[in-house]
Amino acid sequence: MIYPETRRTDIVETHFGIDVADPYRWLEGDARTHPEVAEWARAQDALARSHLAGLPGRDHFRQRLAALSDHAQLTAPVKRGQRYFFTRNPGLQDQAVLVMRSGSDGPDRVLIDPNLWSKDGSSALAEWAVSIDGRHVAHAVQKEGSDWRTIRVLDVETGTILPDEICWARFTGIAWAHDGSGFLYCRFPEPPTGNAFDAPAIRHSVWFHTLGTSQDDDRLVHATPEGQVMIHAVSVTADGRYAVILSMPGVGSNTLAIIDLQDPGWTLRPVIETPDYSWSVAGNQGSRFFLATDNGAARGRIVQVDLDDPQLRALDLIGQRDDATLNDAVYLGGRLLVSYQIDARFEIRRHHPDGTPDGTIDLPGIGTAGGFRGHPDDSEVFYVFTGHNAPTTICRYDMGTRQQTIWARPDVDIDLDRIAVEQRFCRSADGTRVPMFVVRRADVQGPAPTILYGYGGFNISMVPYFSPAVLAWVEAGGTYVVANLRGGGEYGKAWHDAGRLANKQNVFDDFIAVAEYLKSEGIATADGLAVQGESNGGLLVAAVVNQRPDLFAAALAGVGVMDMLRFARFTNGQFWTSDFGDPNQEADFRNLLSYSPYHTICPGVRYPAILVSTADTDDRVVPAHSFKYTAALQNADLGDRPRILRVEMRAGHGTGKPVGQALDEIADLWAFAAQWTGLDMARQGSSCPESQ
């Protein structure tokens, strides 16, 4: 394969006595303002799409992905009086719409349709919140996948958009004051250059917007202290009395402050002042707050804090479990609902407000449950259930009678009884037990072409969820495996800590151990294992390919962090130092250099086929990471398998992507993986699995 020519420079910098070459630094330029970068990216993308379009399985996967995705997808509703607000996508519509239903089973009315906002479907409805009286919906507009938001307000009765416009919101929630006068939100300062794409994520702050006024008149509620880097999350308690602000220097720890909204001065009262542990608010009964934390309990516990107590003592309410990890807690219908992960599977337990047990909620199967919505004084509660072979279902649960019904469950174009899901475990290099989920057709028992997916970072758990993309691969005869690696949140704080900072190599060792296990146990074929990941998972894929290229036939590295020495210089990269470390500190620098994908490519070694994917407007993990990494791959002698770059246009890090665009991308990924793992696409002439 002949790759586009890439200019090399002689940039070499010395850090802590080590000379580091960076010949492709010019590719850090924004393609929208740097013509040379834009031309290079277009040439790379043209080569990739030409190659991918000619692969034998591409059309089959695109057709099946469309069929498997063509079902109604709803979110759990927000209840205001007898009105229920939720989003709905009938299946293949580019963007979900916001709907209001009169009564839980009454007629629907579309309130907001983002498909009308742009011709190519690249504008999406992001965060939204309904005022307590149900009169207004504040909603965030996301354009081209960017993390930046513009917040507008809809008058529900008239269907008109109010003149109110909030700009430069980012990493924000929307929390209404209970009198409907306005809402709290989070924003950054307007970028001084007007170039929002590469603006640093500093000086995050919490504001209050009063309806009918200009954003210039908004009230500053809380600002990041000078010299600190924080991201804030704001909410209002169900009784409307308090605002809660969580402030995070990174992932896995935060401070907590509370504002009594009845106090005209809105004085911020610190509750947790040092960000050493994770704290979240499950709810409150007046001044008594229920908090979930890993302070003194690596796998999580529930404590209570009374604001009337001058010492703000945290008193035990529900202790840590040895067999499970606390995932979430919420106070609804007069009970605390506490969700736990047990080897990445979910269990929901009920507790009285004094902490005493009150039974469990019977889940529809083995899978993931969450997204609880309701009110402390209303027995009607909704939640979402999903699994690898369980379509995303909205359940309605009565806290008083304990009766449960299905509020929405889609019909999908596949016989799910033919899909087998199995949880297995293997041992990592240091003996750590690592879980994985193996998804395949029930009739596939021997070695098969396999995609192995992983993430391993930022305290994020890889839990079971329904994926038409996974089913398209499995239906075709392949096996899909999701690994639960250290660095995630599956087993609590200690599991996260074991995969970050100086321990990051554990994540790669875990992934390599799973790959070796899949081959030794006859799950993956000898030269039929592809590896996949996005974002931190893209870093994971590229790092393990550099360390063990012999294990993999193909690699799918999406929107990855590839230059570990310069990630903190772009957009919100400085927040990742909590997991990666600080490149400006010698010990962290040396550790980062040891696995940085851009810097540890091994010339002269046969590499797997590699498909790198990114997006031109990704302002979270900027495309420069993928650009530089691809250039370095193509310049090295790594064998005859392709190393290509797919660049999505008018798209960001993943959220808000139009459905059609997303299906095109997955079809390309699966066709590439099929080609190099040996999945027999010649047998896929019919879309009906039973006829194969």
Active site residue ranges = 535, 653
Inter-axis angle of helices 35-53 and 624-635, nearest 10: 70
Closest CA to 561 of 615, 608, 629: 629
**Collapsed DSSP state (helix, strand, coil) of residue 563:** coil
Give the separation between CA 259 and CA 538, rounded to whole angstroms. 40
CB 672 within 8 A of CB 55: yes
CB 386 within 8 A of CB 367: yes
Closest CA to 41 of 50, 31, 49: 31
User: Count of H helices and E strands in the chain?
Assistant: 10, 39
Task: Count how many Cα atoms sit within 13 Å of the Cα of residue 4 in the half-sphere of its side chain.
Answer: 20
**Collapsed DSSP state (helix, strand, coil) of residue 224:** coil
Pairing label, strands 448-453, 479-483:
parallel
Q: Computed from CA positions of residues 530, 533, 534, 538, in that sequence, does the dihedral angle turn out positive or negative?
A: negative
Give the separation between CA 333 and CA 378, rounded to whole angstroms. 5
**Max CA distance (Å), the chain:** 72
Burial class for 617, CB neighbours closer than 10 Å (0-12, 13-18, 19+)? buried
CB 233 within 8 A of CB 173: yes
Closest CA to 125 of 177, 86, 91: 86
Give the separation between CA 329 and CA 446, rounded to whole angstroms. 41
Q: Computed from CA positions of residues 218, 220, 224, 226, in that sequence, does the dihedral angle turn out positive or negative?
A: positive
For residue 376, the tally of other CB atoms under 10 A from its CB is 18
Residue type, 1: M
Q: In this structure, what are the phi and psi dihedrals at residue 25, rounded to the nearest 5 degrees?
A: -60, -30
CB 595 within 8 A of CB 508: yes
Q: Computed from CA positions of residues 441, 445, 449, 450, in that sequence, does the dihedral angle turn out positive or negative?
A: positive
- Phi-psi region for residue 344, left (φ > 0), alpha (ψ -120 to 50) or beta? left
Q: In this structure, what are the phi and psi dihedrals at residue 474, rounded to the nearest 5 degrees?
A: -65, -40
CB 654 within 8 A of CB 592: no
Give the separation between CA 234 and CA 265, rounded to whole angstroms. 17
Give the separation between CA 515 and CA 517, rounded to whole angstroms. 5
Closest CA to 336 of 355, 321, 314, 319: 355
Burial class for 545, CB neighbours closer than 10 Å (0-12, 13-18, 19+)? buried
Give the separation between CA 602 and CA 27, rounded to whole angstroms. 21
For residue 26, the tally of other CB atoms under 10 A from its CB is 20
Pairing label, strands 524-534, 554-558:
parallel
Give the separation between CA 579 and CA 609, rounded to whole angstroms. 29
Tokens representing 469 are 């993309």
CB 650 within 8 A of CB 658: no
> Residue-wise over 52-66: b if at least 16 C-beta within 10 A, else e?
beebebbebbbebbb
